[in-house]
Structure 1
Amino acid sequence: MAGSRKIAREFTLQGLYAWLVGGADVTLIAATLKEDEQFRRADEDYFRALLYGVLKEEDLLSARLAPLLDRPVAELSPIERGILLIGAYELLHCPDVPWRVAINEGVELAKKFGGTDGHKYINGVLDKLAQDVRAVEIAHAKKKGVSGEQ
């Protein structure tokens, strides 16, 4: 289904926001999000993989992001932090998602939910992370002259 992963990312961001701001139980958060009528358009398996994966790996993901940030992870807005966690998770754990797609989806989430220029910050941080964790994929794409997008 076209766009179903995009919608899954949007719901994952909403879930992470609720978790970061309110500390609510992730099972309750997921159940509440599933009640939204738009949720049926999302890839539910991908939503679950992202939400639970990000929360399970949050310490590791934050540690990977920390050296790339201009401030401590805890000082990021919940929206920026959630988007960066999703992007980092995809870059590290979802090899089926091309690096440019992971970055672009983060940028699109920031444009939709974040502050005025937040998408530029998200782009810069995720690009730096991709250069590190997807170096072989990026080098191969440049060598072939391929954009890396699906």
Structure 2
Amino acid sequence: MSQNKGVRRKGRVVAFQILYGISFVPPHGGWTPERIYNLSPAVLQEESEEVIAFARELFLGVYRDMDKLDKTISDYSRHWKLERIARVELAILRLSVFELLHKPDIPLKVAINEGIELAKKFGDGNSRNFINGILDAIARDIDHGKFGDIKSF
């Protein structure tokens, strides 16, 4: 179990790094999500196939559902337009909201805690509280069935 936890945590970091990177240089001209992923320095430097596989699943899922994830983040980030959310926080939120909504094997509390850990590692002093507030509100609504029967705490 702890190895799986470590694999997933490292996979989240790799996926986050790629998501953060594409916020500066949006894909264009033949750059498919797979190509972006496969040529990412974070992936090329990673030795664990398990980490690479989990990060791929997360990155491609977030990339595929980016518009829906952004809509959900926008709906829950009261008083903050999506364009005003810092790139670090937005990448973390996209990843964490994807896990909340699309990874039934990951408990809500775990998805929230992992988002907070990413915020502690990569964000600034306010990142943790901002991300926690949004993820907690989404998780509560998931738990109350607003998103259908996904999962619960």
The normalised TM-score by structure 1 is 0.84
| RMSD value, Cα | 1.6
Kept in 1, the 8 Å contact 2:13–2:118? The answer is: yes
Match of 2:87 among 70, 78, 93: 78
Q: Cα offset for 1:17?
A: 0.7
Q: Cα offset for 1:43?
A: 2.0
SS of the residue 1:71 aligns to: coil
1:57-96 matches, cutoff 5 A:
57-69=65-77, 70-96=79-105
* 2:28 paired with 1:54: no
Counterpart-to-counterpart distance in 2, 1:47 and 1:15:
9
The normalised TM-score by structure 2 is 0.82
Counterpart-to-counterpart distance in 1, 2:108 and 2:55:
19
Figure out how many residues of one structure are paired with residues of the other and give that number: 137
Q: Cα offset for 1:75?
A: 1.3
Amino acid at match of 1:52: L
- 2:119 aligns to what? 110
Counterpart-to-counterpart distance in 2, 1:91 and 1:134:
10
The ranges of structure 1 where at least 4 consecutive aligned residues each deviate by more than 6 angstroms after the TM superposition are: none
For structure 2, the residue ranges without an aligned partner over 5 or more in a row are 146-150
- 2:21 aligns to what? 18
1:3-42 matches, cutoff 5 A:
3-24=6-27, 25=31, 26=33, 27-32=35-40, 33-36=42-45, 39-41=46-48
Q: Cα offset for 1:31?
A: 2.1
Change beyond 3 A, Cα 1:114–1:30:
farther
Q: Cα offset for 1:29?
A: 4.3
- 1:122 aligns to what? 131
For structure 1, the residue ranges without an aligned partner over 5 or more in a row are 139-147
Kept in 1, the 8 Å contact 2:37–2:59? The answer is: no
Q: Cα offset for 1:63?
A: 0.7
> Can you list the C-alpha shifts for 1:69-114, whole angstroms capped at 9, x where unaligned?
1311121111100000011100110010000000000000000000
Q: Cα offset for 1:20?
A: 0.9
Kept in 2, the 8 Å contact 1:62–1:85? The answer is: yes
- 1:141 aligns to what? none
Match of 1:131 among 121, 140, 143: 140
Q: Cα offset for 1:132?
A: 1.1
Among the aligned pairs, what percent are the same residue? Answer: 31
**Higher helix proportion:** 1
